[in-house]
Every structure is written in C-alpha cells, then in structure tokens.
Chains A and B, each alone.
Chain A
C-alpha cells in the first residue's frame, strides 16, 4: 500500500487500555461519522462527520480532528509493550469505521506492519466489495453489531433498515473471517427473549460464527446529548437488570453459541 502513512481521516478520540473489545490490551481509535442514528448511542458526538462543539464538565470542546495514519500510529504504538505481552493491538470503532474506508484500511495495514492484532467494531454498513478489498485483508477480528432482525423496527430505532447489515454479515462470515456478533441490549427495542433469540438464531446460522456478545444498554452517554444540545430519546428507559441479562443469555445459548454478557 503506497503512502499509507500519509492517508488521513477524521477521528474524535483515542482510548487506551481497552480490555473489553478484542483480545489483550487494546487501543481504540474512534472514527467520526455514522450512517445510523441509534437512539441509545453513547457517543452521539461520533455521528456527524463534521467537527462539532460539545460541552463536557462545563467546558466546551471541539470534537473531531483530521489526522494521518502516521500520527495515529505514533500514539497507538506507545502501548506496544502492552500489546506484546497481552496479544492486544488496535481496534477501530466509531462512528462507523467503514464510512472512511481508505483511512480505516491504511490504519489496519499499518497496524499489521507493526505486528499487532487488529479489530474493528462495525455494523458492516458499506458495499461488500469495500469490506472485502479494503478491510478484511488486514483484519484479525470483526466485531459486528446486529441490533434487530425486524427491519422496520431496526429502521425506527436506528434510522436505517437492516438488509445490508444482514447480507454483509453472511458474506463476511463466508470469507472465513473471525467474526463475533454483538448485540446492544436495549429495553423497549430488543430486550425480549424472542427478539434476542431471533438474532442469536441468525448469528448461529452464519458459517464459522461461534460467539455472541450481549452488551447491556447503559446511560453513560446521556449527558453528552445535553452537551450537544440534542434531545435524549431514551430518557424513560432503565438499563436491563442482571437477572434480565442472564435470562437473555440463557435464551441465546439455546442456539449453541458461546454467549457472554459484556465485551
């Protein structure tokens, strides 16, 4: 890949010592911009591609920065000693990573050149050829969000139908890519045994997929909406209880998948 170090893209955060998103100790790079507007999203500042202002802790700050792969990798590789000891590496998250395919591709390529593990957290919302040609060659682990099997409800809560997501999930699985399905469990949206079971059935039907992560909805992002001067639509919803999560886990396990709560 030529000139990959100079490829640039837009990010809004780099988070170190991530221990719940892939193997080992990882650094997550958050790419800005998303095609979805999920109501529960805990990083609303990730959604717009435009650089924007958000008030946090009483102070207004700019979110969104254009950086080169070289600059990102300089920061990421500071934790090389930790990647080496733990088998960790780089995780790309968002936003939707795939909306900046060249940047994501160059980052994953660079990470592989350094010999560290790579992962992305994504909904797979892109043309399959893009995923296949730009992402998968440099990817160790695909953490793919599947939120609902009912396209209408999917669209209602995320603003997008689920057809492309499901289609890509199958195609990605067919390439033999190491793929884990992740489900944000959101009360009033998908937190019933039937809905979770349906997603699990689908995941289990994908060739090679053995693992499912149930990620309980949390409200840590709520005050960000106020900071962005945007309404928070899930005001009335409480995070699922531990018992409820256990029940959903048991239900999903009936498909034969290995299910865990949390990443």
Chain B
C-alpha cells in the first residue's frame, strides 16, 4: 500500500477570525436574486423555458451583489451578509410571505428579514402566483395522494418547495478544462446538431443555454477579479494588499481556464460550489471525492516546492469556513425537519479508486484536519471504509470523532459498491461512489438521484390498519377490515403490508408529479453543464440528461414498527393477553399518560367550532377554558391501572437492538415492507425508485403528528431515528446494538441507511480507546452495515448546554446525516438527541 502523510498541520490564526466574523449575527434574508429572476422571467415570456433559465443564471452572475469578506483567501458569496441567503420564488413563495413576521423568532433556524426586504419580496412575489413548480406539481397529483399528504402519511415537501439539488457535479472537469472548455464542448455538440434532427429544437435550445451559463460563470469570476483589484488599490495593509492581488489574478483565470496550481483549483472549486447554489435552491450539493480530484494539483505544487503544507491547509480551512457561509431559508415545517441551517454539502475522503485500490492520500488526512481546525457543521465530512483501508487514516478519523463534532460519518464500501452494482451502475462508477447529502451513495458527476425524495412515516400505515383507513372523517387509506376480523397475526401483518403498498404507490405519484413540474418549469442548464451525459444527450438533468437516474424516498420508523408489530404478535395473538380493540383504545387514550399537546389543541378547535356553529360566542377566554378542560380530562383509575400493566407487558418483551435474533430478523422483514415494494416503480426521467432508511431529523416533527403506537411509544413523541433501536430500548451496549442493526438488509436500501450512535468521551480515551472504537466500526461493517456516525458528548454537557446555550455556541452535535450547532436546534430536537442512548461508561 502506498504511504501518505497523516500527521497534524498547524492552524493559521486567520481561521478563528473568519469564523467569529461569520457567526457574529443572525443570518439575513436578501431580496436581490428574487428581483433579478422575476425581472428576467418577465422579459423572456414566450421563450423556451430552458433558455429562459440560462438567461436567469446569466443575469444573476452579472448583477448579484458581490463581496469579499475581511481576510478571505477564497472568495465568492451569494449574499452580502455573512450566512445570508437569497430566495427562489420560481419554486414556491407563499410560505415565506406568510412567515415574514415569524421567521426571525421561530425556534428552528431563524433568519432576520428587514422591512425593506419584505417590501421588495412582496413586490416580486406578485408575478409568481400560478407559475411555480409547487403549484404545477399539486395540480398533477391524484386526489388520494393529496389526501395522504394532508394526513401526513409521507411528505414530499423538500422538492415540492425547493429545487432538487442532491447531486455531485464533475468538479474535476471544471478544474481541468475550465468553463471555456465546457463551453467549447457544448459548442461542438451544437455544431453537430442537424436542423433536420427530430430533437433539434430541444437539443439546440439546451446547448445554447449551457453556453450562456458557461459564459456567465466566467463573468461572475471576472467581477470578483475587478473587485479584488480595486480593494487592493485601496488597501493600506501591505500583506492583505498582496493577498488581494493574488485573489484578483486567480479570479481572472479560473474557473474560465484550467487551474494552474492548487490555490487556483481551490478558488475554481469554490466558484462552482457556490454558483450551483444560486441557480437553484436545491440543497445537498455535495463536493464528493474532493481529496481525489484536488490531489493532482496539491501534489504537483507540493512536490515542486511551490506550496507549503501549512498554506495548503490554510486554503482548505478557508474553504471549510466558506461552506458555512452558504445558507438557505426553508418554511417553518421543513426547517424542523432539516434543522441546523444545514445544506448537507457532503464531502468524502478515502475509499477505493475506480480500479479497486485504496485511494487515500495526503489530502484525505488534511480534510480531516480541516474539520478539526474549523469545528463547524459544514461540510458534512464523510469517510469511506473498506477491508483495505489504512488504519492510520481511520485512527485520524476517530480522533476527529472524539472532538465531539459528530464528524466524520463512516461508510462501508463493501456494502455500497455491490448495492450500486445491483442498480445497474458500472463497476468503475460504483467503486468511485461518493455520498450525497446525508447518507446517499451515487456515482459522482453522472447521477441525478433525487436522493431525498420523501419522508415516509412507517408508523402511519399501522394507524390506518387500526382505523380501517379512516381519519378525522376522511377516507385516507385502504379499508383493510375491522379489528375484530383479524383472526391471526398473519392477516393483521398483511393488512399493514397492504396499507404500506398503497401509500408507497401514492408517494410515487407525488414524487413523479413534482418531477414533471421541475422538468416543465425549472430545467437547470448550469448544473447540467457539469453532469455527464447532459451535453451528449442534449438534455438537462430535469429531463433525464444524467447517465444514472433515480428517485430515492426515505422510510423511517423500523424500530417502532418492529417492536409494535412484535407486541401485537405476542400479546394479542400468541399470549392472548389483550385484544386488538384493547390496544386500539389504549393508544387512543395514550396509554393513560395524558392528552398530548397537539391532540388537545385540535380537540379544542373542534369543540370551539361546534360551539360557535351552535351560535355561542367563542373568544380567547372560552378557548382557554375549553383547552384546560380537555387537558384535565383524566382516564378512569381502573383503566389507568390496566394501561400501566399493558405498558409493563410491552416493555418486558424483547426489543430490537439487543442482538436477539428472533426480533432482529423480524426487523429485517419489517424493513422489507418498505424497501421491496419500492423497487417496482419508475420515474419520468427513465430511472428506478430505490429506498433509503433514514429520517434526517424528521422523526421529531413527524413523530409529533403520530399517535401512540403499540410498542408503548407515547403520542406525539419522536419516532426512532434512522435504522437504530428506539431511544433507550437498547440496553446491552454498542456491540449488541451494532450486531442487531447489521441484521437488516442494508444492500437493498441502496439510497442509504443511517445509524446514529452516541458515545461518552471516556469510551474513546487514549490510543487504545481509539483503536477499540475503530474496531467497533470495522466489526459493524464486516457484518454488512452501511453507515455509522457518532455523537461524542456527555449527557451532562448536553443538559448544561440546554440550560446555558450562551456558553455552548460552538457545540456541534450529530443530528442525523449531518451535524449542527446544538444551540440552534429546537428544544424538542435537543431532547431527542439527549435521549438517544449513550453508549460507554
């Protein structure tokens, strides 16, 4: 195995300053992009949509205000304010207008918005009703789909409200040939189009849009070159003046032309990364195998003595800070599901190369070093692990994990590569995989994977079995029969599977409707210019231009459904201790543990409506008293005692997560109820559906919309995160948990599985602690686990951080497929993280 540098590198004092500037204030919403895009749309009505999108991007590059922040070495910001964001009315806008007055004060991801910005956005928004992707998507969905969404069986809100994102472009190509080179390719393809070709119109308009975008990106960089030059002229500090002149020279050369050195490669990379995120609001724009495509430039400079390791590290650290400068405002509900201002820019190091050899190099280690230097949530740093991974790189990764920032996440080549092969990806491309967003594997630069296409709450179809398909008077699911009709567990479980299949079909209808809406209304020529084979096919990604096309919706709730169905199986059908009706009643009464907040509120509304319909006046005072009355309603003592016994009986059953074969193999089967049906469906881009098993952080808000479940989970409490056991139910330590989780079929969940573990720092102390930690990961991966990530913080520290957030501004924790600053998370999500079992002593 070839050797590489894996040591420490000094941190430049510049980095701390850049970070403190970045986090000085609440992030701000800006109106510039919305105004530009609105104006260009007005000017170009009647032209093809793909050319209009090209012109939109061109205008953004020409007009979006630019700024060089103090001390930066890598430049390019899409907002004036640090961590500021632009908005994207072409996808959706109504929610923001509705939330103008609450967005600064909400618990999850607040943003400041000025009165002036509100006015400007309000003006721009007048143009958009009826023209957005979200409105078109809604109009395309079947009524039963809309009903399922209304009842929160699943949510496709991510792509409904925003751009798609979730891809990795071919960064290496931009570094190698520049946008001038890509433009030349497009031009050549255009010159080969014959006017008599059947697809001439489509192909030529797309290629012209690509050419427009390539020129626009160069224009944008040139504006920075000029700005840097003029700032250099004014600059009194000779050191900074020098730096600004180098920045000017870099921006004049890249990304138009091939990068000539490592610094230019860094700058070129950054322009690509940030510009993609001005074209569309899609998140999870993932840099992928950064240590691979950047290495060439580093190696050449370093070996020639043109750059010191310290300066190369400083440039990496600067990029790491910049990742955190990008931001996006989401609607209040989505913000809960993606909490932590996260953009999920996943950057991965290590693993095999296209030929199956280990690909680790100096930059793999220096990327880990950068994460330790900046200690910020972005980028979502990942590491590929395989049987031949060098131990020293894993030990270094474990050291990063020990800092408690929740990074990196560990991925198993030995499962992911075969999983991708099974989806028709070539061996070379599969070996070259990288991760998108949270945990989704794909072939970089060639894939439009729609990797985060939905969250599907596996608990809700079970509720539909209990209610025979009805909820609040609406017919939502299938009528699978009255509870009294189920004579054995088999028929009950079949009813659950039928409900699952039905809703999975509706989820597909929802995603495909959104897919068509994006193709019709928001093709994106800039990102398409960097993804194979859009130029060759003459199609944007939104119409199937990429080599590989997928739709990957996520299911979650395996642990709860396993424990729940197992409880029904044993307590109702085997031991006959309780009937299904008794379970149903207990769940309705929340096992006698009080009426949860959400239900109390909706009951109050119901009663208030009835009263006012009956002609009574219902004011604030009356509503408060109704609510109090509802909250004070208590379950009769005999019932309460019965429920308590019931909870005890449920609790005493084996639970998923304790290395008990019987229930763990049952969990495997429960996961199949989601992953297997998914494989039969196709999307409009010619690709297939592939399931993922993870909730991002949606297990908290979607849990709040779910009643009590037969596993004893109380109403409106979080659902288990990822593929791990339900919080607190794994009691035999991490090896048992790991063994249980590895018993699921991860390979079939080729859109990714997510396994959170929380460790106390003492479990990783000393070299031996790190070695044992690495061994645990390797042992999980030997058993075909796919992904693993860790929070290394003490419970006491998290509780203290909740009490004194001001002292823990830098406390980064792992949320789901990403890390976030703990204090920026909502209270309920904080509680969820605290309550995940802490492993170690």
- Chain A contacts to B: CB under 8 angstroms: 15-17, 19-20, 24-25, 78-79, 81-82, 84-86, 88
Contact = CB atoms under 8 A, between A and B. Distances in A.
A15 B734 CA distance: 11
Nearest to B742: A81
B140 interface: no
Interface in B733-775: 733-736, 738-739, 763, 768-769, 771-772, 775
Contact of A16 (B735, B768, B779): B735
Contacts of B30: none
Nearest to B782: A81
B839 interface: yes
Contacts of B732: 16
A84 B772 contact: no
A78 B782 contact: no
Given A17-B733, A79-B739, A85-B778, A25 B783 contact: no
A214 B115 CA distance: 65
6 contacts: A16-B735, A17-B735, A19-B768, A25-B772, A81-B782, A86-B771
A17 B775 contact: no
B776 interface: yes
Contacts of B780: 81
Q: Which 7 A-B pairs have the closest CB atoms?
A: A86-B775, A17-B733, A85-B775, A81-B779, A82-B779, A85-B778, A85-B779
B775 A78 contact: no
Contacts of A79: 735-736, 739
Contacts of B736: 16-17, 78-79
B729 to A, nearest CB: 15
Contacts of B775: 24-25, 82, 85-86, 88
A79 B771 CA distance: 16
Given A81-B739, A86-B771, A16 B776 contact: no
Contact of B772 (A16, A19, A78, A81): A19
Nearest to A79: B735
B511 interface: no
Interface size class of B (residues with CB under 8 A): 20 to 34
B763 A84 contact: no
Given A16-B733, A17-B733, A86 B659 contact: no
Given A25-B776, A85-B775, A17 B734 contact: yes
A82 B779 CA distance: 5
Main secondary structure of the interface of B (DSSP, over half): helix
B734 A85 contact: no
A78 B659 contact: yes
Interface of B: 659, 732-736, 738-739, 763, 768-769, 771-772, 775-776, 778-780, 782-783, 839-841
B659 A82 contact: no
Contacts of B763: 19
Nearest to A15: B733
Given A16-B733, A78-B659, A85 B739 contact: no
A78 B739 contact: yes
Given A78-B659, A78-B739, A79-B735, A19 B769 contact: yes
Contact of B782 (A17, A24, A85): A85
Contacts of A84: 779, 782
Residue with the highest number of chain A CB atoms closer than 10 Å, among B659, B732, B779 = B779
B783 A24 contact: no
Nearest to A25: B772
Given A25-B735, A25-B772, 11 more contacts: A19-B840, A20-B841, A24-B772, A78-B659, A81-B779, A81-B782, A82-B738, A82-B776, A85-B776, A85-B779, A86-B776
Contacts of B776: 17, 25, 82, 85-86
B769 A17 contact: no
A17 B840 CA distance: 8
B829 to A, nearest CB: 27
A252 B841 CA distance: 26
B27 to A, nearest CB: 41
Contacts of A88: 772, 775
A76 to B, nearest CB: 11
A112 B736 CA distance: 22
Contacts of A25: 735, 772, 775-776, 779
The listed residue with most B CB atoms (<10 A of its CB), out of A15, A24, A78, A81, is A81
Contacts of A19: 763, 768-769, 772, 840
Contacts of B739: 78-79, 81
B357 to A, nearest CB: 22
Nearest to A86: B775
Most A Cβ at <10 Å: residue of B659, B735, B738, B769: B735
